[in-house]
Amino acid sequence: MLFDEFKSLLDEVRRLKCETQTLEIKKAKEGSPTRLYDTLSSFSNQDDGGIILFGIDEQTGFTETGVYDAHDLQKKICEQCKEMEPPVRPLLNAFEIDGKVFVTAEIPGLDVTRRPCFYKGKGRQKGAYIRIGDNDEPMTEYEIYSYEAFRERHRDDIRIVDMAEDTAMDLDAIQNYFYSVKKERMNFSRINEQEVSELTNLTIKGKYTISAVLMFGKYPQTFFPRLCITAVRIPGTEMGDLGDEGERFLDNRRMDGCIQEMFEGSMQFIQANMRTKTIINPQTGHREDRIEYPQAAVREAILNALAHRDYSVHSEGMPIQILMFSDRMEIRNPGGLYGRLQINQLGKAQPDTRNPVLVSMMEAMNLTENRYSGIPTIRREMKAAGLPEPEFSDERGSFVVRFYNQFDSSSKNVVADTVLTDNEIKLIQFCQTAKSKKEIADFLSISTVWYAVSNYIDPLIKKGYLQMTVPEKPGSPRQKYIAAK
């Protein structure tokens, strides 16, 4: 860190008066802090690392105190860094401003394959931390496992399901699978089905794998009761909001069965609970009913959740969740981003695959293309529908996709939550060329003109679907009405 960089950092602390995701503040006026390992661990376990700034007292409103002895403090910091596994290699600097000496320790983020960094005195399970905002939080057992699983290449999607016999499997579906892989892979066409089963990890030494059970089991939840999808429609914008009659959920379902059945059930639930918005094309007067979220985007999000969730023993008790709020929909699947992939790389970089065997089976059965096109498709479909960008987040062991349902302000010809009668739609089509009150009344088979004006023409003008040809003189005998452009 250069002196100008330190000055900028100090100015930021003076302005914000807080710690951040990558900044920890310590006093060190009377001596070296005795407990740095939680921050050393948490900074090492995030991609951006972090900076520990010594010489500011957070407890007294971020008073600049300076440190007791820069030389001794740096020595003590290094001693604590050696107590970490793997050892932390900080970049230390001392700076003097206004007669006070400050020390900075820049902690580099470890490569994913070397995480978690933990304090040896407490061991991996209790001495590994993660940074959440300005706090150092102990890692969960699953968070620790997720690093180990990637580093050691655990193959959780080919775990053996000892209790799964042929009677628990859809043998016709398995035959279709064999037909598909033999057709697509010419080298499989000359070998028997038992060999294909072993080569594709449908079975290992004759025992079905978890991927096989999830894809072709008659009822996989016999063995894994919580490997399912739960879906709720909530009457407000937050969990716990109540409806007009005090109900917590407007709909509440559980989708189970094989992968295909869970996918189809989820799509049916979402379609049944999506509101419809009416789109009127002013050029033709045609009415189009647009659903809340584009189906192609929803499809990709659900398939991604099924294909890429964590199927290890650490998360097999957690279902995929679909939460439909009044302003958004969230799809949550157990297992955060896998490997080195970061949120800002989604759809741009080829990711490591957590469940390569399951994904290959889904591809063979035409459920997914396995061409890393899911995220780009979601973004493209949301944009085409005039909706906000989807949000993707990695939230401590869960990957979350958020779709927001309000129409973008730049969208054209969108009338939200408006329902037009068939006669109104026909009238808008009729008025593609200007028509008089009498012509409109005759078209509607209404004997009195004033009734046509008060019940059809005026309401459609207020809604923005019709406009006057002589708006400055509403009562003009030459007044006509035309569909709004």
Residue 480 has pLDDT above 90, yes or no: yes
Mean pLDDT along residues 21-47: 96
The C-alpha atoms of residue 248 and residue 256 are separated, in whole angstroms, by 23
Do 436 and 480 touch, CB atoms closer than 8 A?
yes
Give percent of the chain above pLDDT 90. Answer: 69
For residue range 438-466, list pLDDT tens digits in order: 999 999 888 788 888 888 898 898 888 89
Helices and strands of the chain, counted as H and E runs: 16, 23
Do 156 and 149 touch, CB atoms closer than 8 A?
yes
For residue 31, is it left (φ>0), alpha (ψ between -120 and 50) or beta? left
DSSP 136-166: EEEPPHHHHHHHHHHHTT--GGG-B-TT--G
The C-alpha atoms of residue 270 and residue 403 are separated, in whole angstroms, by 12
CA distances from 440 to 336, 423, 437 (A): 60, 11, 5
The C-alpha atoms of residue 1 and residue 62 are separated, in whole angstroms, by 21
The C-alpha atoms of residue 432 and residue 286 are separated, in whole angstroms, by 11
In the chain, the domains with their CATH numbers are 3-139 (3.30.950.30), 155-413 (3.30.565.60), 420-483 (1.10.10.10)
For residue 485, with 0-12 CB atoms within 10 Å meaning exposed, 13-18 middle and 19 or more buried, which class applies?
exposed
The C-alpha atoms of residue 418 and residue 429 are separated, in whole angstroms, by 17
For residue range 332-378, list pLDDT tens digits in order: 999 888 888 778 888 877 778 899 999 999 999 998 865 667 899 99
H helix intervals, 356-457: 356-364, 374-384, 422-430, 437-443, 449-452
For residue range 167-215, list pLDDT tens digits in order: 999 999 999 999 999 988 888 888 999 999 999 999 999 999 999 999 9
Report if pTM > 0.85. Answer: no
Burial 206-229 (b: 16+ CB within 10 A, else e): eebbbbbbbbbbeebbebbeebbb
Q: What type of residue sits at position 60?
A: T
Residue 282 has pLDDT above 70, yes or no: no
Q: Specify which residues 92 forms β-bridges with.
A: 105
For strand 414-415 and strand 276-280, is the pairing parallel, antiparallel, or unpaired? Answer: antiparallel
| H/E run at residue 321 | strand 320-324
For residue 459, with 0-12 CB atoms within 10 Å meaning exposed, 13-18 middle and 19 or more buried, which class applies?
middle
The C-alpha atoms of residue 172 and residue 175 are separated, in whole angstroms, by 5
For residue range 397-430, list pLDDT tens digits in order: 899 999 998 744 333 334 444 556 778 888 998 9
